[in-house]
Chains A and B, each alone.
Chain A
Amino acid sequence: MIPPMRSREALVTGVGVVNAIANDFESFVEAMREGRCGQRAITGFDSAGLRNPRACEAAEFDAGPVYARRDRRKMDRSSELLLAAFDQAVSMARIDLRSVESARGAVAMGSTLGGAVTGFQYYRAAREGRRRPSKLRDHSMHAPGYRICIESGFLGPNLVFSTACTSSNLALAAALDLVRTDRADVVVAGGFEPLSLISCAGFSVMRNVTPGICRPFDRNRDGLVLGEGSAVLIVEADDFAARRGARGLAAVRGYGLVSDARSMTAPDPTAAGPSTSMRHAMDMAGLSPDCVDWVCAHGTGTLLNDRAEARALRQVFGPRSREVPCTSIKSMIGHTLGAAGAMNAAAALAAGRGDYIPPTIHFEEPDPRDPVACSSVARTGAPKHVLSNSLGFGGSNCSVVIELAGDSGVRE
């Protein structure tokens, strides 16, 4: 049966993050305020033949604590990244996941190439005649989320979305749907993406990786820089959070999800898809464009993607598109593909924590054809309503509206 939508709110009570500039949420708040750049030489694999041998690898990430808490059996890089962010989020939410009724706990994740590192290692060994079944244990994209189910005892759905760059915005949307349809009380939502040779090579031959640095929305932008990491949010129904006295740091208010239906690789130059997804998200949140305080953009730094997004912003916000603050955090952490939406959500929470609007580093000169209100340094501010965009490979567009809590929280 089609479930009725209820008036339950989806509160975010905890967040965890690992990426090229931070290994936890508090350091993420400070790293973005400082405008730190995570781009460096790739160490995880041989970068020969790549258009850019530098990327935003989570090089300083130490998986030791993740293993120390568990059975120390080797796991895939995706699981390491995800569980590190998961541990942080649970700690911040101060939630005992085992206290959640098992059937009403769910996991919703997003990833584009999760498991690719292990899959490639297995294949290389198999070609050399060495069969390593242990490598197959968690190379599936749903394995990292299943690890969370095992640890939390959740018997609800373990969903992993893979719609390229929109994947983890979709996971947040699914969390909202699960809460509003009363099918879950708690959803562990987020995204994970390991830096892999396959993704670096693929984007390299498609020539949408910059040979230099990533300059989203700048007139001299020439491509993206790949990144890796994971971001996890604990999303709770407001009634559930209230029962345990938890404070909401933010609320997922609405989302829009539409398809360009035009091209696998190029965005629709009319920008109809992203503008529609933004409008749908605001409609669901019950907001007008005037209420949006900050746009946490997709902003990959490629010529066509940024142009399409800027045009969509102009269609949605009108003349205000030159004023409403806009940020692409990919200038700092790179493009984390399937985790990009969750990274944007974590950035929104970081902005709320630090009372600032994160910068778009390397942004120097606005594109005269499609100007947006970016700044290369952090701006002071206390944004309340954040519009987070994802524009995906294959023409999928997903926007999410996040309402940040003030000092007193969204709900006590």
Chain B
Amino acid sequence: MASDLARRVAITGAGAVGSFGIGTGALWDAVGAGDRTFASCTRYPGALPCAEAVKPDLRRMLHTGQTSRMSLVSQFAIAAVHLALTQAQLSTSKGGAGPVIGIVYATSHGPAATTQEIYDDLLDYGAAAVKPRAFQESVFNAPASLASIQFGLKGPIQVLAASIGAPVVLQQAQMLLAHPGVDAVIALCADELCEAVQSALRVLRWHRPAAGAEESSPSRTRRGAVSAEGAAALLLERADDALAREVPALAEMAGAVTTNDAWKLVRPAPDARGLIAAVRGCFADAEAAPGDVDLILCALSHNPVDDALHAVAMRSLFADKAPPVASMTNDIGYAMGAAGMLDVTLAVEMIHRRRMPASMDRTGTLAGAVGSILCTGAGLNGMFGAVLIREPTWESAVSADAEPNARIAPPEPEPVHATGFAGRAARTPAPVSRAASAARGRAVAAAESTGLREHLQ
């Protein structure tokens, strides 16, 4: 059992930012409330519909004003990471020898609005007019690097450009956790709205047109994605480490696989081979079977091609025994590289709360029966992925007298094939008992000190 728990991944913290507000509770409420109306972005001209995120108040959250001038995507990322770390009861103090926490971050467009600002400066005023601060924040790794600086995280940082981020970051996070020197990994996805990107996606007929234009458009372009923005972060650690730390697991990240379909640029293979391979690989990774899935959450763009692809894949994978399929992009828009991660975050909430948002289970037949959720996604350039989130099967118990923000006890060194991140101390497992509510209370108390109780419902 012990070795099995060392291979299982516990999700012990989650954070989300988007049009729904700040925190996983806000995400839950927004999806539970059902459909919403989209509007054009208030930050730039244009009539295309979008779901603009609520700007996090980082001054209040972090008691520092240093983050308020960062690009929005960095602010979203830092807020989501803060929430995940807080819920996981991990110290975020700078300096000192804390646990080794890595960050794996994926984004579709990176700090796109900042990049557009640089383009405008170049075109309007020339090369010398580019602002140094804008340039340093335009690199794709800026949100992750700024988060590492903000929270003093000295573990590995991986940043990936990905049109569908969740399976990529979760797969890479699994890989990092295979190294004994990494105690925990923050899997993070974030993207921001940008005028140039949104209009380009409309040029590609991927984006939904403006409300007025929709009436006169040919039928095939009537639908389409509604751009959104935001961030989602999950704190992942080995299940035995979570047990030793006496923090409750919200869910298990059982499997994550990313694939591609090796077909054509900007046009997916119509037989959905990439998505089918991703789901099959995910089942193999999780040692699960199609019959284990209670619900499928699809990061659907509502572009006709993408939606049809999902339908083909689901028929191939589940035949006539497909579990219910749901998508929340009608409620919160499609947050680009972060869309799939918001799905995964909602899945974690469903597992943790042991129910579904009301809007997804209008008949009430699934209430209390959701123990395993498959999240799927399809992105630009043939990128596909699948993630399986399920109820943790190990004893998720905590000690009533455990210290909040306790350090992660490092596991024992690998006896063979030691693959780096050396210099770990021997593990001292903490006693385990059932007092999850006490730990939860401490997490909420810690959150209250930063004014975030509402985000940890």
Interface centre among A180, A205, A279 (most CB of B within 10 A): A205
Do residues A155 and B177 form an inter-chain contact, with CB atoms below 8 A?
no
Interface centre among A7, A111, A198 (most CB of B within 10 A): A198
Least Cβ distance of B283 to chain A in Å?
11
Q: In the docked arrangement, what's the CA distance between A57 and B177, Å? A: 39
Q: In the docked arrangement, what's the CA distance between A331 and B129, Å? A: 28
A71-110 Cβ-contact flags toward B at 8 Å (1 or 0): 0000000000000000000000000000000110000000
Do residues B168 and A261 form an inter-chain contact, with CB atoms below 8 A?
no
Residue of B with least CB distance to A108 = B160
Do residues B136 and A259 form an inter-chain contact, with CB atoms below 8 A?
no
Least Cβ distance of B48 to chain A in Å?
14
Least Cβ distance of A93 to chain B in Å?
19
Contact size range, B: 35 or more
Interface flag for A291 (CB, 8 Å)? no
Q: In the docked arrangement, what's the CA distance between A136 and B172, Å? A: 28
Do residues B138 and A202 form an inter-chain contact, with CB atoms below 8 A?
yes
Q: Known interface pairs A133-B203, A160-B160, A162-B160. Does A2 touch B128 (Cβ–Cβ under 8 Å)?
A: no
Interface flag for B425 (CB, 8 Å)? no
Q: In the docked arrangement, what's the CA distance between A198 and B126, Å? A: 10
Q: Which of B1-60 contact A (CB under 8 A)?
A: 6-9
Do residues B160 and A259 form an inter-chain contact, with CB atoms below 8 A?
no
Q: Which of B158-172 contact A (CB under 8 A)?
A: 158-163, 168, 171-172
Interface flag for B435 (CB, 8 Å)? no
Complex interface: chain A residues within 8 A of B277 (CB): 103, 155
B403-439 Cβ-contact flags toward A at 8 Å (1 or 0): 0000000000010111111110000000000000000
Complex interface: chain A residues within 8 A of B158 (CB): 161, 163, 170, 174, 257
Q: In the docked arrangement, what's the CA distance between A48 and B128, Å? A: 9
The 8 Å CB contact of A181, one of B115, B157, B178, is B178
Interface flag for A273 (CB, 8 Å)? yes
Q: Known interface pairs A123-B196, A140-B380. Does A260 touch B154 (Cβ–Cβ under 8 Å)?
A: yes
Do residues A261 and B119 form an inter-chain contact, with CB atoms below 8 A?
no
The 8 Å CB contact of A7, one of B161, B163, B417, is B417
Q: In the docked arrangement, what's the CA distance between A247 and B152, Å? A: 44
Do residues B142 and A1 form an inter-chain contact, with CB atoms below 8 A?
no
B281-297 Cβ-contact flags toward A at 8 Å (1 or 0): 10001110000000000
A170-182 Cβ-contact flags toward B at 8 Å (1 or 0): 1000100110110
Taking chain B's interface residues, is the majority helix, strand, or loop, or is none over half, making it mixed? mixed
Interface flag for A50 (CB, 8 Å)? yes
Identify which of A233-241, A296-304, A314-322, A391-399 touches chain B: A391-399
Interface flag for A256 (CB, 8 Å)? yes
Do residues B154 and A273 form an inter-chain contact, with CB atoms below 8 A?
yes
Complex interface: chain B residues within 8 A of A133 (CB): 203-204
Interface flag for A344 (CB, 8 Å)? no
Q: In the docked arrangement, what's the CA distance between A198 and B264, Å? A: 28
Least Cβ distance of B147 to chain A in Å?
9
Interface centre among B168, B260, B421 (most CB of A within 10 A): B260
Complex interface: chain B residues within 8 A of A280 (CB): 181, 420-422
Do residues B8 and A264 form an inter-chain contact, with CB atoms below 8 A?
no
Least Cβ distance of A161 to chain B in Å?
6
Do residues B156 and A258 form an inter-chain contact, with CB atoms below 8 A?
yes
Complex interface: chain B residues within 8 A of A204 (CB): 127-128, 130
Interface flag for B319 (CB, 8 Å)? no
Complex interface: chain B residues within 8 A of A140 (CB): 161, 163, 380-381
Q: How many A-B residue pairs have CB under 8 A?
A: 265
Identify which of B251-259, B306-314, B351-359, B444-452 touches chain A: B251-259
Do residues A157 and B127 form an inter-chain contact, with CB atoms below 8 A?
no
Q: In the docked arrangement, what's the CA distance between A136 and B8, Å? A: 40
Complex interface: chain B residues within 8 A of A205 (CB): 127-128, 130-132, 135
B378-401 Cβ-contact flags toward A at 8 Å (1 or 0): 001111000000000000000000
Least Cβ distance of A389 to chain B in Å?
15
A residues with a Cβ closer than 8 A to B are 1-7, 47-50, 102-103, 111-113, 119-120, 122-124, 126-127, 131, 133, 136-138, 140-143, 146-147, 149-150, 152-164, 170, 174, 177-178, 180-181, 197-198, 200-206, 254-265, 273, 279-281, 283-284, 286, 392-396
- Can you identify 26 A-B contacts, CB atoms within 8 angstroms? A1-B285, A7-B417, A49-B127, A50-B128, A112-B139, A133-B204, A142-B163, A142-B381, A143-B265, A147-B265, A157-B171, A159-B258, A161-B160, A162-B110, A162-B140, A164-B139, A177-B175, A202-B136, A203-B135, A254-B419, A260-B154, A264-B149, A280-B181, A281-B420, A284-B418, A395-B149
B residues with a Cβ closer than 8 A to A are 6-9, 94, 103, 110, 115-116, 118-119, 122-123, 126-132, 135-142, 144-146, 148-149, 151-163, 168, 171-172, 174-175, 177-179, 181, 196, 199-200, 203-204, 238, 254-255, 258-266, 273-274, 277, 281, 285-287, 380-383, 414, 416-423
Beyond the given pairs A159-B160, A261-B153, A264-B137, 7 more chain A to chain B contacts, judged by CB atoms under 8 angstroms and listed by A's residue number, are A2-B238, A133-B204, A140-B380, A150-B382, A156-B260, A161-B159, A396-B157
